[in-house]
Amino acid sequence: MAVGWHRPTKLVIDTQAIKENVCNEVKRMPQGTELFAVVKANGYGHGAVQTAKAAIEGGATGFCVAILDEAIELREAGITEPILILSVVDVSYIELLLKYDLSVTVATQEWLEQAIEQLNHIGTQIPLKIHIKVDTGMGRIGFITPKEVKHAVALIASTKMLAWEGLFTHFSTADEKDVSYFEKQTQRFQAILSVLLELPRYVHVSNSATALWHPDNVGNMIRFGIAMYGLNPSGRVLPEVYPLKPALSLVSKLIQVKELSVGEGIGYGNTYTTTENEWIGTVPIGYADGWLRRLQGFSVLVNGEKCEIVGRICMDQCMIRLPKQTAIGTKVTFIGNDHGEEITMQMVADKLETIHYEVACTFSERMPREYK
């Protein structure tokens, strides 16, 4: 997809905010704990490489991604810190894992057996770094029982081609007030630990929510994701432990302003009709950019004043109702601060009846990311 460098719509990413969010968490961590910044999905829409560099400045010592290609992107951008791929990678790509010095998640005994066979076929002298994933209640990937994990560890120990680097799980309700299921998952992970005679370098259970609200949980590494970008993992459910500084703003400019008389329709389907003489501004952003049609009726900021989106949002443009005649080229803030007023990503998520994670990841590559 072509990036729209030649139009005024853009995402502005405050890398200093990312650095400060990481730094504030590093200060809270127990001695001997490391922070791996989660930069999957293009850094939650913020840009993986620039986010990673800011995270390093804040004290991150490693990174987590979701897929192999995301890890390769970081390596080719000069990132040398440890990188863990959180999902399963097909064994046919083991040579790439070794070439780029990447750690990979192991979720089944079958994968381990296939990996050993592939490593034998390659004939490498470099061990493959692996993290064992335990499914304590997410229902996604991972070993389930202590017996399964114990068998996996025994198989790893039987060969020099595998380097057991980590053991981890993921909590599904760490961002909720009710801790009963969180505690159930914790007990299951403790049961895994109790059958192991030794542990790998990294034992990690803490995502952003666990790090913020359950800091005494087991582990010596934090997978710091959504909070790094200044967003509360719980949305509005739990209060922030310390101020999180949002890193992303979304801005554009008016490209046309017109006064329409009463009774004029706006947009596809004629879903909005002017009720009086109204000033209508057109902004070059639409659902192809990730500003979805369901945001009709949401308000944006122009000169610090709220202006409603009227009519259906188009693929490339949307229309807003202005309080008065306004100059073409005036900034329009969709997310961020303007003249003391603010629109947050959470507010957008509330309108869409979703979570801010999804909002951030929906922004398309057509919108350029500007870093400051």
Segment 95-153, tens digit of pLDDT:
999 999 999 999 999 999 999 999 999 888 899 999 999 999 999 999 999 999 999 99
Domains of the chain: 15-229 (3.20.20.10), 248-343 (2.40.37.10)
Distance (Å, rounded) from C-alpha 224 to C-alpha 244? Answer: 13
- Is 192 exposed, middle or buried (CB count within 10 Å of its CB: 0-12, 13-18, 19+)? buried
Query: In the predicted model, what is the mean pLDDT of the chain?
Result: 96
Kindly report which listed range (211-220, 255-264, 275-284) carries the lowest average pLDDT score.
211-220
Kindly tell me if the per-residue pLDDT of 240 is higher than 90: yes
Kindly tell me if the per-residue pLDDT of 365 is higher than 90: yes
| pLDDT confidence bin for 218, thresholds 50/70/90 | confident
Active-site hit among 99, 147, 242, 268: 268
Kindly tell me if the per-residue pLDDT of 216 is higher than 90: no
Which regions of the chain does DSSP assign to beta strands (E)?
10-13, 34-38, 62-65, 83-85, 103-106, 128-133, 162-168, 202-204, 221-224, 248-253, 256-260, 265-266, 272-273, 278-283, 299-302, 305-310, 318-322, 331-338, 341-343, 369-371
| pLDDT confidence bin for 299, thresholds 50/70/90 | very high
Active-site hit among 40, 53, 133, 253: 40
Is 234 within 8 Å of 179 (Cβ atoms)? no
Angle subtended at Cα 290 by Cα 66 and Cα 270, rounded to the nearest 5 degrees = 155
Q: Is 367 annotated as a binding residue?
A: no
pLDDT at 361: 97
Better pLDDT: 322 or 31: 322
Q: Read off the pTM.
A: 0.94
pLDDT at 227: 98
Q: What does 57-126 look like in DSSP terms, one character per residue?
A: HHT--EEEESSHHHHHHHHHTT--S-EEE-S---GGGHHHHHHTT-EEEE--HHHHHHHHHHHHHHT-SS
Q: Is 268 a catalytic residue?
A: yes
List the beta bridge partners of residue 278.
Answer: 260
Segment 224-233, tens digit of pLDDT:
999 999 999 9
322 CA to centre of own chain? 34
pLDDT at 125: 86
Smallest CA-to-CA distance from 371 within 37, 51, 78 is with: 51
pLDDT at 199: 96
Fill in the amino acid letter for 316: D
Given the DSSP bridges, would you call strands 202-204 and 162-168 parallel, antiparallel or unpaired? parallel
pLDDT at 123: 83
Is 323 within 8 Å of 307 (Cβ atoms)? yes
Q: Which two tokens stand for residue 360?
A: 């951030």
Q: Is 1 annotated as a binding residue?
A: no
Distance (Å, rounded) from C-alpha 50 to C-alpha 29? Answer: 24
List the beta bridge partners of residue 163.
Answer: 129
Q: Is 181 a catalytic residue?
A: no
pLDDT at 124: 83
- Tell me what the mean pLDDT of segment 72-82 comes to: 98
Q: Which two tokens stand for residue 158?
A: 């039987």
Q: Which two tokens stand for residue 26?
A: 């590093």
Is 43 within 8 Å of 79 (Cβ atoms)? no
Fill in the amino acid letter for 51: T
pLDDT at 8: 97
